[in-house]
Structure 1
Amino acid sequence: MRLPVSFYARPALTVARELLGTHLVLEGEAGRRVGRIVETEAYVGAHDLACHASKGRTARTEVLFGPPGRAYVYLIYGMYHCFNVVTDGEGVASAVLVRAVEPVEGLAPALRTDGPGRLCRAMGLTLSHNRWDLQCAPLYLEEGSPVAEAQVARGPRIGVDYAGQWAHEPYRLWVRGSQHVSRPPARRGLESA
């Protein structure tokens, strides 16, 4: 079942936690592609210096200020797509970045889906999916298998060192033991309960 707007219309940290275990789905000419979300990052609003909205409204960030339950897809380094879902209420400008999924359907099990760029490449997500309403588009999230709190790890977000103290907030969440997490904690030494 597709996740309702009310799921997204909550604080980004809450949504980031509850997205773990849900399914990201894209239906298209290539068939149905489904990945179980195993890693997320919360961006909690314009006051969060790691959030794109911290620089104000622009053509790129306008979707963040809009209604919850929209896709926010952008390019980093001019070549890697990143998929986010807009959260909270209109004007808050918060979102959750989906960092990694485990292949469920339509994705080869050996296909790398660790990291936002690889995830988008595997799923076929591009800038054309930006601003899509996840309630009525062939891109959506649906219920999956819940993740117990004991299986959730938290740590700092990746690649936001420029954000001062905000870079150290434990707004990255992942499923412990998943082989599809973008940077396993054993390599980084940053896992927290």
Structure 2
Amino acid sequence: MTASFLPHSSNPSGLDVKLFARHPAAVARDLIGMILTVDGVGGRIVETEAYHHEDPASHAFTGPTARNAAMFGPIGHAYVYRSYGLHWCLNLVCGEEPGSAVLIRALEPTAGIDLMRERRGVEPLRLLCSGPGRLCQALGVTREHDGARLDAPPFDLEPSMRDWEIAVGPRIGLTKGVQTPWRYGLAGSKFLSRPFPKSF
């Protein structure tokens, strides 16, 4: 299969697509602290996981399918899938070769909080986006966003204006690649889906 895998030449929201033309672990780390919104609703990225196309835990490991087609498309686009038939999960397509992506696991809510609470049916700020399924419900992300550009509405991704202390650890809920340290988080954030191990 020949996949289109070229950065866009235009970026109306100011997104630097070169951010995504690297190994997913580097992208996942650098996304921490950035502001992600969908139709103006969202917040600061505080937790991510990287998935490389040669990683046995990646959806792309066995090649392209109808479900993971966005992973083999252009970088700087969304890959949205349903987990266990229940929850949508948002990934950002990246990598030096087709088939890699970064899962957005948690946000610190900063914009559209009332709408997030309405969508989620919960009040505590900490519970709005602390997990990939909660995050997508709060931001209104569904399969309709699969393949959408991250540099055009409804998405907006803004760079961080400061450096952050990054926590690193193994990814969550896997049966393959369990010990691969490709989970990244904003150290000490109360908005993480779960704490990082103290020793790894």
What TM-score, normalized by structure 2, do the two folds share? 0.83
CA shift, 1:144, in A, is 2.8
Decide whether the 8 Å contact of 1:154 with 1:191 is kept in 2: no
Task: Tell me the C-alpha RMSD between the 2 structures.
Answer: 1.6
Higher helix share: 1
Percent identity, please. 44
Aligned length: 178
The answer for the alignment partner of 2:74 in structure 1 is: 67
SS in 1 for 2:160: coil
The answer for the alignment partner of 2:43 in structure 1 is: 35
The correspondence for 1:141, drawn from 157, 174, 178, is 157
Letter in 2 for 1:6: K
The correspondence for 1:94, drawn from 100, 110, 119, is 100
Q: Equivalent residues in 2 for 1:174-189 (5 A)?
A: 174-185=185-196
SS in 2 for 1:168: coil
CA shift, 1:167, in A, is 1.4
The answer for the alignment partner of 2:147 in structure 1 is: 131
Runs of 4 or more, structure 1, over 6 Å off, are none
The correspondence for 2:34, drawn from 12, 18, 22, is 22
How big is each residue's C-alpha offset from its partner over 1:71-109, in whole Å with a ceiling of 9 and x where there is no partner?
0011001110100000023x4311000000001111247
The correspondence for 1:85, drawn from 88, 92, 105, is 92
Deviates more, 1:139-148 or 1:125-134: 139-148
How big is each residue's C-alpha offset from its partner over 1:19-70, in whole Å with a ceiling of 9 and x where there is no partner?
000011111xxxx21210000000011x100100012110111111111001
Query: Do structure 1's residue 55 and structure 2's residue 71 form an aligned pair?
Result: no
| Cα 1:139/1:192, change in 2 over 3 Å | farther
Decide whether the 8 Å contact of 1:20 with 1:40 is kept in 2: yes
